[in-house]
Amino acid sequence: MRALRGNLVVGQSGGPTAVINASLAGVVQEALRHEAIDGIYGMRHGIEGLLREELVDLRRQSTETIERLKHTPSAALGSCRHRLSTADYERALRVLRAHNIRYFIYIGGNDSADTSHRLAALAAREDYELWVIGVPKTVDNDLVETDHCPGHPSVARWLAVSVRDAGLDTAAIGVVDTVKVIETMGRDTGWITAATALAREREGDPPHLIYLPERPFRREQFLADIDGVYRERGHVVITVCEGLKDERGEYVSASRRDVDVDRFGHAQLGGVSGVLCNLIATELKIKARFDKPGTIQRVSSVLASPVDMDEASRVGQTAVREAVAGKTGFMVSIIREPGPQYRSTLGLVPLERVANAVRQVPDEFIAPAGNDVTAAYLSYIRPLIGPPLPEYARLARVPVPARLA
C-alpha cells in the first residue's frame, strides 16, 4: 500500500508524566524519516489546541531540542482534559481537512483512546482518509490490553525511593511521630500505591501496611492492623491510595464533602490521609502525620526509569510507522516477552477495546489480608523500574555497656 502524502499532528492529553515527552520525541524523530509526511505539527494543550487551530511546527525545532525532550518532565506541548461534543468532533475534522492532516497521533489514557476512536470513526464515515493511532500514557497503569503503561514505572521508582526515605525519617523520629500515612495518586486503581512495596530492603522495612482501592476499606481491621504493627515496632508507616473506598463503595475521602469532578466526571480526589490520621488519633490515641506528594510524584524526571523512558520513545516511533503503513483506530500496546530476563515487544490493539475501560490490580497481586501486595506483584514491577535503588548505610546496634546502675 502506498503511503498517503500529508501532514501529521500529535498531541498530549491527561496528567503529564516523567516520560510523556519521550513519546513525543519518538513521534517526531520517526516522522522525520518518512517522505509521506510533510508537516509535523503539535497540538497546544491536546485536542483543545486542535479545535482552536493552535498548532506548533515541530519541524522547526532543533534536533537537540527534540532529543532533550526524552529527559524533560511534564507535557511539552501542554495537556488537557476535554470531553468533546458532537460539534467538537465535526470542528476537529474540519481543522484536519484544512491543514491536510492525514496522520493523527494522540498520547494519553483511556479517555484519550475514546477521543481517538471517535475521531477515527467520524473520519471514516465522512470518507476522509485519516490514520489515527493512540500512544499509551498514564501513571495509573490502568489501561487494558497492555502489560503496563509508559509513565507508571517512573512513578513506581520515584515512590519506592521516597517511601524508603520517609520510612527512615519515621524510624528516626518515631519516638515522637509514631505513625506516618503516605497518600499516593490513583483514582480507581491501586497500581501506584502497590509500587511503594519496592521501598523495602529487608523484612520488616516500611511500608508496613499497604491499602489499595481494589479491597474495601474496613475501619476496624485497619485500626487492628496499625495497633499490631505499633505494638511490635513502636512506629508504623502506611501507604494508601487516594481512591480508597469503604464497604459501601464510597470514597473514604468523601467525608471531607468537597470531592470535585473533572470534565469527564471523574472524581478529583485527595485528603484520605488526613481522614485516616484523624481516625488513628481518635481511636488509638496515637499521634499520626501524613505525607501527600501530590502531582510531583507523576512528573519528576530525576528518578525516571530508563526502561520506561526507552519504551515511551519506542511506542511513539511505532505509532508513526503503523500510521504510515495505513493502520488506523489502534493503540500501541506493550507485550512482555516470556523468559527470566525482561524484554518487551510492541503490538496494536483496537482503540474501542481500550476506551473508557479500567484495569484493576488483579487478585494475585494483593495479599489475602488486603493490607499488602504479593511476591507475584513484585516480580511483575521490579524489571520495569530500572537499576537497583540506592543503598543506604545502617548502623549496627552495638551497645556500650552501662556504667551506672
261: in domain: yes
Domain CATH for 14: 3.40.50.450
According to the model, what pLDDT value does residue 269 have?
56
- The list of the chain residues with pLDDT below 70 reads 1, 254-270
59 and 124 assigned to the same domain: yes
* Displacement of CA 20 from its chain's centroid (Å): 10
- Domain of residue 191: give its range: 153-297+360-384
The reply to whether 389 falls in a domain is no
Percent of the chain with pLDDT over 70: 95
Same domain? For 168 and 287 the reply is yes
Cell of 313: 520513545
| Cα separation, 360 vs 96, whole angstroms | 36
Task: Say if 1 falls within a structural domain.
Answer: no
Residues 81 and 193 placed together within one structural domain of the fold = no
Q: Which of 392, 393, 394, 362 is nearest to 380 (CA)?
A: 362
150 with 308: CB under 8 angstroms? yes
Domain CATH code at residue 248 = 3.40.50.460
Confidence (pLDDT) at 155:
98
Same domain? For 143 and 161 the reply is no
Sign of the alpha-carbon dihedral angle for 276, 282, 285, 290:
positive
Assess whether 70 and 127 both reside in one domain: yes
According to the model, what pLDDT value does residue 390 have? 92
Statement to judge: residues 228 and 337 lie in one domain:
no
pLDDT of residue 187: 83
Q: Are residues 135 and 177 in the same domain?
A: no
Residue 395 lies in a domain: no
Q: Are residues 250 and 159 in the same domain?
A: yes
The CA distances from residue 328 to 120, 133, 314, 348, in Å, are: 7, 6, 18, 10
246 part of a folded domain: yes
Q: How many domains does the chain have?
A: 2
Residues known to be catalytic: 140
Residue 402 falls inside a structural domain? no
pLDDT digits (tens, 9 = 90+) for 280-302: 999 999 999 999 998 999 999 99
pLDDT confidence of residue 259: 46
* Average pLDDT along the chain: 94
**Is 257 within a domain?**
yes
Q: What is the pLDDT of residue 82?
A: 87
pLDDT digit string (tens) for 219-245? 999 999 999 999 999 999 999 999 999
Same domain, 70 and 125: yes
Mapped onto helix, strand or coil, the DSSP state of residue 346 is strand
Asked whether residue 292 falls in the same domain as residue 279, the answer is: yes
- Asked, for residue 92, whether it belongs to a domain, the answer is yes
Q: 210 and 312 share a domain?
A: no
259 and 372 share one domain: yes
